Chain A
Amino acid sequence: MIRLPITEADLHAYVDGILPAERAAEIEAYLAEHPEDAARVASYCEQTASLHRVFDPMLDEPLPQRLEVPRPLWVRPALRYAAVVAWLALGGVAGWHLHEYRAAGQFEATTWARRAAVAHVTYSPEVRHPVEVGAAEEAHLVRWLSKRLGASVKAPHLGDLGYSLVGGRLLPGDRGPVAQFMYQDGKGQRLTLYLRRDAGKQRETAFRFSRERGVGVFYWIDGGLGYALSGEIDKPELLRVATAVYRQLNP
C-alpha cells in the first residue's frame, strides 16, 4: 500500500477530527514515531479544549437586554404577544387614570403597581421559562441584577413562610431596568417581587395596596429602591409576606 505523505494540513485536519478513520490511523502511526509533531498536535488539541472550557459558559448566559431583538418585530410565542397586548391596554388605562389622579406622585405609584401586576400575570404562569436565571445560581442572579439596576439588590429568603425562590429576570421599565424575583410555595402558588431603583424624592413610603384584575400588589419605597410584591392570594397573606420581605431588607 502506498501511503500519502503526512502534511501540515493533515495534522490540523486530525486535530479538528475531520479525517476519515483510515487516514486518522495513519496520522496516529506517524505521530507515534515523531514525538515533536505529537507534542505539537497534543498542544493544538488542548487549545481547542481550553477555548471551549473558557468560552462555552457564555452560551448559557442570559442575554443582555440590548441584544434582545427589538419587539414587537421579534414577538416570539404567545406569551410575549400577550405581554405586548397587556402593555397596550395598560397605556390606555394609565391615560385614563391621569384624569383621576392629578397628583403626579400618586399617578406614578399606581402605574408602578400596575406594571408589577402585568409582569406578574405575564411570567408567573410560565411552566418552562418562568425565570431567566434559576435559584441554583442565586449569587450570580443577585450580582447580575444589582449590576443592571445600578443598586445593591437582594433576593429575600421566604422559606419560613413556605415560599422558595424560583429565580429572577430582568425587565424593561419606563425609567430603566426592573428586576423580578419569583417565589413559589409547595402547591405551586407563585409570588413575584418587582423592584427598581427609585430616584424620586421619597426615600421611603408606607405600604400601599392595590388590586389589579385579581392580582394583589403591596408596594413601597425603601432605601432608594421601589418594591412591589404581587400575588393572587388574599390580602392578609400577601401582607404577611410583604412584611417579611421588608424586615429582611431592614434587619
Chain B
Amino acid sequence: MSIDTDTARRVAKLARIKVEDDALPALAQEFGAILGFIEQLNEVDVDGVEPMTSVTPQRLKRREDVVTDGSQQAKVLANAPDAREGFFAVPKVVE
C-alpha cells in the first residue's frame, strides 16, 4: 500500500506531532512499508468472528458511585511545566 505525503501530513496533524515538510516523503514511505506488512491480515477468513474486547472473560467490576479521592491540588500540579495560582497554565486558547 502506498501512502502519499498528504496522507502522512494529515496523520501527523491528527497525532499532534510536528513533522517538517521535507521529512514527509520518508515518513510516507515508512508508513507504506508498515501498512504493507499489516495487510497480510487480509488473507485471514474472519467471517462471523467477533472482534476481541477483553482477553480474559471478565465483567468490569463496579463500585459505589462515591468520592474516594481528591483534595490533592499541590500534588496534581507538582510536575506541571507551568502552573499558576492553582491551575495548569497554557498558551492563550480563546481570543
A and B: partners? no
Q: Which residues of B are interface residues toward A (Cβ below 8 A)? A: none
